[in-house]
């Protein structure tokens, strides 16, 4: 008789620290590492150059940068700052079921992954 190998709940908890929800793609991370995945709206500034990134479901999480990498780094920092502030004030993370920004013709939705 063959026996199926299964992982106990403890083993699974050790392997998977957090699974992100809110209609996001699940992300599996190492124990002790907090990973957040969220959707953001990337809008290139066609007149002046550079980029603006706004978190779709987190009010006030916005970044601008001359390069795409600069803007992505900024949105990560803005997200972590929002989280830190909410925790410091004993508040839960602010999440809106509806997008808090409107998509423009030249913008596109991107996925942001933040460890922290």
Q: What percent of the chain has pLDDT over 70?
A: 74
- Identify the CA nearest to 70 among candidates 98, 50, 49, 100: 50
Q: What is the pLDDT of residues 48-58, one digit of tens each?
A: 999 999 999 99
Determine, yes or no, domain membership for 2.
no
User: Considering the entire predicted model, what is its pTM?
Assistant: 0.70
Q: What is the pLDDT of residue 96?
A: 86
Cα–Cα distance measured from residue 11 to residue 3, given in angstroms and rounded to the nearest whole number: 18
Stronger pLDDT, 82 or 27, i.e. the higher one: 82
Beta bridge partners of 37: 113
Q: Does the pLDDT of residue 18 top 80, yes or no?
A: no
User: How many domains, the chain?
Assistant: 1
Determine, yes or no, domain membership for 28.
yes
Q: Does the pLDDT of residue 16 top 90, yes or no?
A: no
Q: What is the pLDDT of residue 35?
A: 85
Query: Which range among 22-26, 70-74, 77-81, 107-111 shows the weakest confidence by mean pLDDT?
Result: 22-26
Q: What is the pLDDT of residue 41?
A: 96
DSSP string of 24-58, one letter each residue: PPP----TT--EEEEEEEEEE-TTT--EEEEESSS
**Hey, how many other C-beta atoms are within 10 angstroms of the C-beta on 16?**
15
> What CATH number does the domain containing 68 carry?
3.30.160.250
Stronger pLDDT, 38 or 94, i.e. the higher one: 38
Range of the domain at 62: 9-115
Average pLDDT of the chain to the nearest whole number: 79
17, exposed or middle or buried, with CB in 10 Å at 0-12, 13-18, 19+? middle
């Amino acid at each position: 008789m063959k026996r199926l190998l299964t992982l106990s709940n403890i083993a699974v908890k050790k392997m998977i620290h957090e699974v992100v929800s809110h209609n996001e793609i699940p992300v599996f991370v190492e124990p002790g590492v907090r990973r957040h995945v969220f959707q953001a709206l990337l809008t290139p500034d066609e007149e002046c150059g550079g980029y603006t990134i706004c978190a779709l479901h987190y009010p006030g999480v916005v970044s601008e940068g001359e390069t795409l990498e600069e803007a992505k780094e900024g949105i990560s920092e803005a997200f972590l700052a929002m989280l830190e502030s909410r925790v410091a004030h004993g508040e839960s993370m602010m999440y809106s079921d509806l997008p808090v920004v409107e998509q423009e013709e030249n913008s596109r939705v991107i996925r942001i992954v933040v460890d922290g």
